[in-house]
Amino acid sequence: MSTNNEMQIRRTASNSRSTISSKSSSSSSSSSLPKENKIRNTEPILYSEVAVRFNENSLEQCRTSVSVLSGCVAGIIGLTSYKGFIFYAFSMFFLSFLIYFYIRNEHRKFFTSLNHIFINGFFNGLLTYVLFWTFLYGMVHVY
């Protein structure tokens, strides 16, 4: 039974290579299972859960380390109050654009939508940023 599923998924993928829409036309040749092929018209896309989790994890690592770095920069420069938060927003947008330029041509291959890189984890690094910001500010400007 599992081999039948593998064959069916591979046949659909080789017929419709780069479709995101869920309606994939499966015009397979010499189908020995005609009943399954009629149901096949609204087949959902299969994602590998390990890969999705791995991508989100590495994105989160990038975000945390960039928020640490921007906290250090804000502390050294000596930003205060609202300018610090504006700098945090700027550094998060900067990171999003960097990642987007790195996976420019194949972002659909790695993420289901662009929301993941731009919007979803935006405030995750805020507290880390404030921690390093106050720490470096105290180190450089106060002591």
Residues making contact with other proteins (CB under 8 A): 3, 6-7, 9-10, 13-14, 45-48, 50-52, 54-55, 58-59, 61-62, 65-66, 69-70, 72-73, 75-78, 91, 94-95, 98-99, 102-103, 109-112, 136, 139-141, 143
Question: Which of residues 14 and 22 has its CB atom nearest to other proteins in the complex?
Answer: 14
Rounded to a whole number of angstroms, the minimum distance from the CB of residue 88 to other proteins is 13
Question: Which of residues 82 and 102 has its CB atom nearest to other proteins in the complex?
Answer: 102
Long-range contacts made by residues 4-12, C-beta under 8 angstroms, separation at least 24? 4/33, 8/33, 8/36, 8/40, 9/46, 12/40, 12/43
For 52, other C-beta atoms within 10 Å of its C-beta total: 14
Give the 3-state secondary structure of residue 29.
coil
Rounded to a whole number of angstroms, the minimum distance from the CB of residue 35 to other proteins is 22
Rounded to a whole number of angstroms, the minimum distance from the CB of residue 21 to other proteins is 14
Exposure of 53 in the CB half-sphere (CA atoms within 13 A): 3
Of the candidates 59, 64, 77, the one whose C-alpha atom is nearest the C-alpha of residue 127 is 64
Rounded to a whole number of angstroms, the minimum distance from the CB of residue 24 to other proteins is 11
Question: Which of residues 36 and 78 has its CB atom nearest to other proteins in the complex?
Answer: 78
Residue 119 token pair? 């919007």
